[in-house]
């Protein structure tokens, strides 16, 4: 009877330990996904100012001219003529 109690205590201890590990594993995945806020994709969207009106826009949307970057084709023509 004494051994049965010891066995039950050990089984409860193992069950608790496994339960704790399972909740730890469940809580871990969101942590590595939090830092990508400052990931490499955000550095790609660099903001530049239009050489004529100083409007700020992403570099990918800016139109390159001989005197700088412009927000639109109209401003590029206006500044370079
Ligand atoms: Zn402009």
Query: Domain span at residue 57?
Result: 45-81
Q: How far, in Å, CA of 66 to CA of 75, rounded? A: 12
- Regarding whether 52 and 30 lie in a shared domain, the answer is no
Give the Å distance between the CA of 78 and the centre of ligand 1. 9
**Domains identified in the chain, total number:** 2
H/E element, 43:
helix 40-44
Give the Å distance between the CA of 71 and the centre of ligand 1. 4
Give the Å distance between the CA of 54 and the centre of ligand 1. 6
pTM here? 0.46
Give the Å distance between the CA of 50 and the centre of ligand 1. 5
Give the Å distance between the CA of 44 and the centre of ligand 1. 21
pLDDT at 41: 55
- Regarding whether 32 and 15 lie in a shared domain, the answer is yes
Q: Coil, strand or helix: which one is 23?
A: helix
Tens of pLDDT, residue by residue over 16-53, are: 888 888 888 887 666 666 555 555 555 568 999 999 99
* CA nearest neighbour of 65 among 53, 50, 54, 55: 50
- Regarding whether 31 and 11 lie in a shared domain, the answer is yes
């Amino acid at each position: 009877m004494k051994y049965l109690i010891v066995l039950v205590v050990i089984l409860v201890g193992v069950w608790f330990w496994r339960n704790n590990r399972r909740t730890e594993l469940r809580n871990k995945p969101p942590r590595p996904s939090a830092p990508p806020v400052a990931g490499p994709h955000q550095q790609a969207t660099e903001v530049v100012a239009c050489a004529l009106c100083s409007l700020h826009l992403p570099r990918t949307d800016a139109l390159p001219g001989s005197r700088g970057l412009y927000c639109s084709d109209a401003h590029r023509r206006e500044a370079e003529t």
